[in-house]
Amino acid sequence: MNIAVIGTGYVGLVSGACFAEVGNRVTCVDVNQDKIDKLKEGIIPIYEPGLEEMVLRCHKHGDLQFSTSLKEAIQNVEVVFIAVGTPMGDDGSADLTYVLGVAKEIGQAMKKELIIVDKSTVPVGTAEKVKAAIAGELASRGADIPFHVVSNPEFLKEGNAVRDFMYPDRVVIGADSEEAAKKMKALYGTFTFNHDRVITMDIKSAEMTKYAANCMLATKISFINEIANICERVGADANKVRLGIGSDGRIGYSFIYPGAGYGGSCFPKDVNALIKTSRDYGYTSRILEAVDQVNQDQKKLIPAKVVKRFGEDLSGMTFGLWGLTFKPNTDDMREAPSITLIKELTSRGAKVQAYDPEGREQSEGYYLKDVKGLEYCESKYDALKGAEAMILLTEWKEFRSPDYIEMEKLLKNKVIIDGRNQYDPEAMKEWDWEYHFVGEPGENA
């Protein structure tokens, strides 16, 4: 099938590459000429395991092309995916400027029947706005060209996106046209060949499904963090409580790991967008508001542990930080807990020596660009030289089994402050390490 994907960000590039991988002819479009030029040269703008190899392979075979011209890209295709950004506005709403801008451009350029697919995460009712934008442009041209708007939300986990796309646990298709639904099911047939995982529904339900899924996962994270904070006060161990409740099949172990709060491009934005949508319809989403507030407070927890241990004034002190990105296997720094930590510690006079396998470029170039007192290191052990303590905020694999003897040589104190509960408290105690973690018994008794 011939496809155009508008937007070469995280969702667009992964979707385009995976569709091309199974033999579809795909053109990825972006207004950023520099990005398109780099993609043509094999330079991938994001880090995602397996993506670079797939893009290079598909581009070499001719199944994946890149262009800045939407008009040219949609002339010989059957399906157009809109995968542009929907950044969070000041009021928490999803900004549809780019989505509707693309819709208008499609209406201005299309010459034959098309299926237009909302792949971006968008609020309920967006498909109607996309449809109206396209219809308006066609009317202004005096053109009578049929088209169908479909909602096909993505459920990709950063760090595992390629596998998630190639082997989906479900494909949600929201359509008000049987013809469009059949075409979409055929497009995804290769990915669901062994087991039919395609779920068709009305458009608004499909749009809502994406938000409901992410908000449910965010709720589990804030819930376990709330439990961990209670554990610290009553003397219980949050790690043991997690095991006790996770063994219940109705609850499960996924997304109930106490930590420093969630980040990234999805959960914070989607929770706030659904809160805003609820308000727009006269409803107060009390659970989601609490989920967001707990998460904002949770990002302050690790800085508070540092201050409790080392004092309000951190002048002259150095801390070694392992992990910048909001999760492992990505270079994404959006809403990362490390941003809160670094700004808080440096504002108190501390120096932070940070190491992350992939996050330095985004941190140094944008998110923490002007922060004084932040130094980037080439290895995890370099980050510990002369530091008062090691602070862990991202659970990269290379941090799981460190050389504690080497760490003891480099650190001033045998102190670990763990924002992801990666280590065994009993082992830390046996090895004579001072170990602080999320949900530590009696920490705030």
List active site positions: 266
Residue 11: helix, strand or coil by DSSP? helix
Give 6's strand partners: 29, 82
Q: What is the DSSP string of 12-33?
A: HHHHHHHHHHTT-EEEEE-S-H
36 Cβ partners below 8 Å, 6+ apart?
A: 8, 30, 66, 67, 68
Give the count of beta carbons closer than 10 Å to the beta carbon of residue 77: 21
- HSE, side-chain direction, 13 A CA sphere, residue 242: 22
d(CA 216, CA 265): 16
d(CA 87, CA 271): 13
Residue 59: helix, strand or coil by DSSP? helix
d(CA 20, CA 160): 18
Q: Give the amino acid at 243.
A: L
d(CA 133, CA 348): 51
d(CA 364, CA 376): 8
- In eight-state DSSP terms, residue 128 is H
Helix 203-234 vs helix 126-141: angle between axes, to the nearest 10 degrees? 150
Backbone angles phi, psi at 148, to 5 degrees: -130, 135
- HSE, side-chain direction, 13 A CA sphere, residue 217: 15
